[in-house]
Amino acid sequence: MTNKRVCLIGAGPSGMSVLYHLERLRLEGAIAPENLPEVTCYEKQDDCGGLWNYTWRTGTDEYGENVHGSMYRSLWSNGPKEALEYPDYTFEQHFGGPIPSFPPREALRDYLWGRWNKYNLKPMVTLLHSVQSVNFDPAKDKFTVVVKDLKQNKLLDAKDFDFVVNCSGHFSTPNVPYFKGIERFPGRVMHTHDLRSWREFSGKRVLVVGASYSAEDSALQSIKFGATSVVCSYRSKPMDFRWPDSVSERPLVTEVGGDDRVGAGGWARFSDGSMEQIDYIILATGYLHHYPYLAEQLRLRGPNLLYPAGLYKGTVWLAGGNNRLLYLGAQDQYYTYTMFDAQALWTVRYLTGAIQLPSSAEMAADAKAWVNRAALSKTDQENIAFQTDFVVDLANQSNYGYDLDVSKIFYEWEDHRAEDITTYKDRQFVSKFSGQQAPPPGQPFMKAIDDSLEHFLASCQGK
Amino acid sequence: MTNKRVCLIGAGPSGMSVLYHLERLRLEGAIAPENLPEVTCYEKQDDCGGLWNYTWRTGTDEYGENVHGSMYRSLWSNGPKEALEYPDYTFEQHFGGPIPSFPPREALRDYLWGRWNKYNLKPMVTLLHSVQSVNFDPAKDKFTVVVKDLKQNKLLDAKDFDFVVNCSGHFSTPNVPYFKGIERFPGRVMHTHDLRSWREFSGKRVLVVGASYSAEDSALQSIKFGATSVVCSYRSKPMDFRWPDSVSERPLVTEVGGDDRVGAGGWARFSDGSMEQIDYIILATGYLHHYPYLAEQLRLRGPNLLYPAGLYKGTVWLAGGNNRLLYLGAQDQYYTYTMFDAQALWTVRYLTGAIQLPSSAEMAADAKAWVNRAALSKTDQENIAFQTDFVVDLANQSNYGYDLDVSKIFYEWEDHRAEDITTYKDRQFVSKFSGQQAPPPGQPFMKAIDDSLEHFLASCQGK
pLDDT digits (tens, 9 = 90+) for A280-314: 999 999 999 999 899 889 999 989 999 999 999 99
If one counts every other C-beta atom within 10 angstroms of the C-beta of residue B175, the result is 18
The 10s digit of each residue's pLDDT in B167-191 is 999 999 999 999 999 999 999 999 9
Measured CA to CA, the distance from residue A211 to residue B52 in angstroms comes to 35
- Could you say which of B56, B148, B173 has the minimum Cβ distance to residue A189? B56
Q: Cβ A186–B194 below 8 Å, yes or no?
A: no
Asked whether A30 and A186 are in contact (CB, 8 A), the reply is no
Terminal Cα-to-Cα distance of chain B (whole angstroms) = 60
- Could you say which of B56, B188, B266 has the minimum Cβ distance to residue A183? B56
Q: Cβ B186–A196 below 8 Å, yes or no?
A: no
Chain B: nearest CA to A375, how far in angstroms? 26
Please tell me the predicted confidence (pLDDT) of residue A296.
84
Q: Cβ A59–B193 below 8 Å, yes or no?
A: yes
Residue B1 reports pLDDT greater than 70: no
Measured CA to CA, the distance from residue A199 to residue A74 in angstroms comes to 10
**CA nearest A350: which of A307, A399, A306, A403?**
A399
Report the DSSP beta bridge partners of residue B282. Answer: B190, B208
Residues near A311 by beta carbon (within 8 Å), at least 6 away in sequence: A300, A317, A318, A327, A330, A367
User: Which residues on A lie below 8 Å from B299 (Cβ)?
Assistant: 153
Model confidence band, residue B128 (pLDDT cutoffs 50, 70, 90): very high
Measured CA to CA, the distance from residue B328 to residue A379 in angstroms comes to 57
Please tell me the predicted confidence (pLDDT) of residue A154.
81
Q: Cβ A196–B189 below 8 Å, yes or no?
A: yes
Chain A: nearest CA to B420, how far in angstroms? 23
How many Cα atoms are found within 13 Å in the side-chain-facing hemisphere of A6? 28
Measured CA to CA, the distance from residue A251 to residue B269 in angstroms comes to 45
The 10s digit of each residue's pLDDT in A406-439 is 999 999 999 999 999 999 999 999 999 999 999 9
Residue A397 reports pLDDT greater than 90: yes
Element (H, E) at B41: strand B38-42
- Could you say which of A56, A260, A295 has the minimum Cβ distance to residue B199? A260
Chain A: nearest CA to B286, how far in angstroms? 12
Interface with chain A: mutation pick from B61, B199, B293, highest number of A CBs within 10 Å: B199
Residue type for position B82 = E
Asked whether B308 and B300 are in contact (CB, 8 A), the reply is yes
Residues near A242 by beta carbon (within 8 Å), at least 6 away in sequence: A419, A420, A421
Measured CA to CA, the distance from residue B391 to residue A391 in angstroms comes to 66
**CA nearest A205: which of A183, A230, A188?**
A230
Chain B: nearest CA to A15, how far in angstroms? 23
| Mean pLDDT calculated for residue range A165-170 | 98
Measured CA to CA, the distance from residue B375 to residue A344 in angstroms comes to 56
Taking all residues of chain A, what is their mean pLDDT, rounded to a whole number? 95
Alpha-carbon torsion angle B360, B362, B367, B371, nearest 10: 130
Chain B: nearest CA to A158, how far in angstroms? 13
Report the DSSP beta bridge partners of residue B8. Answer: B41, B165
User: Which residues on B lie below 8 Å from A194 (Cβ)?
Assistant: 58-59, 194
User: Which residues on B lie below 8 Å from A183 (Cβ)?
Assistant: 54-56
User: Which residues on B lie below 8 Å from A180 (Cβ)?
Assistant: none
Measured CA to CA, the distance from residue A232 to residue A223 in angstroms comes to 12
Chain B: nearest CA to A156, how far in angstroms? 10
Instruction: Provide the percentage of residues in chain B whose pLDDT is more than 90.
Output: 91
The 10s digit of each residue's pLDDT in B306-361 is 999 999 999 999 998 899 999 999 999 999 999 999 999 999 999 999 999 999 99
Chain B residue whose CA is closest to A288: B64
- Could you say which of B66, B197, B449 has the minimum Cβ distance to residue A261? B449
Q: Cβ B59–A148 below 8 Å, yes or no?
A: no
Chain B: nearest CA to A224, how far in angstroms? 8
Walk me through the domains of chain A, giving residue ranges and CATH numbers: 5-48+121-173+287-401 (3.50.50.60), 182-283 (3.50.50.60)
- Could you say which of A67, A187, A301 has the minimum Cβ distance to residue B199? A187
User: Which residues on A lie below 8 Å from B186 (Cβ)?
Assistant: 197, 199
Asked whether B175 and B249 are in contact (CB, 8 A), the reply is no
Please tell me the predicted confidence (pLDDT) of residue B462.
56
The 10s digit of each residue's pLDDT in A241-273 is 999 999 999 999 999 999 888 777 899 999 999
Least confident of A42-56, A109-123, A146-160: A146-160
Element (H, E) at A456: helix A453-460
Gyration radius of chain A over CA positions: 23
Alpha-carbon torsion angle B421, B425, B427, B432, nearest 10: 120
Interface with chain B: mutation pick from A135, A168, A202, highest number of B CBs within 10 Å: A202
Q: What own/partner pairs with CB < 8 Å and gap ≥ 24 does A38-41 have? A: A38/A3, A38/A4, A38/A5, A38/A6, A39/A6, A39/A8, A39/A124, A40/A5, A40/A6, A40/A7, A40/A8, A40/A126, A40/A159, A40/A161, A41/A8, A41/A9, A41/A10, A41/A11, A41/A15, A41/A124, A41/A125, A41/A126
Taking all residues of chain B, what is their mean pLDDT, rounded to a whole number? 95
Measured CA to CA, the distance from residue A223 to residue A411 in angstroms comes to 26
- Could you say which of A187, A191, A263 has the minimum Cβ distance to residue B197? A187
Chain A residue whose CA is closest to B130: A292
Q: Cβ A73–B184 below 8 Å, yes or no?
A: yes
Q: Cβ B200–A199 below 8 Å, yes or no?
A: no
- Could you say which of A154, A193, A296 has the minimum Cβ distance to residue B154? A296
Measured CA to CA, the distance from residue A174 to residue A161 in angstroms comes to 30
Please tell me the predicted confidence (pLDDT) of residue B168.
98
Measured CA to CA, the distance from residue B121 to residue B12 in angstroms comes to 12
- Could you say which of B56, B74, B189 has the minimum Cβ distance to residue A182? B56
Model confidence band, residue A463 (pLDDT cutoffs 50, 70, 90): very low
The 10s digit of each residue's pLDDT in A212-235 is 999 999 999 999 999 999 999 999
Measured CA to CA, the distance from residue B146 to residue B135 in angstroms comes to 9
User: Which residues on A lie below 8 Å from B61 (Cβ)?
Assistant: 176
Instruction: Provide the percentage of residues in chain A whose pLDDT is more than 70.
Output: 99
Q: Cβ B194–A261 below 8 Å, yes or no?
A: no
The 10s digit of each residue's pLDDT in B251-273 is 999 999 998 887 778 999 999 99
Asked if the interface predicted TM-score (ipTM) of this complex is over 0.85, the answer is yes
Chain A: nearest CA to B168, how far in angstroms? 15
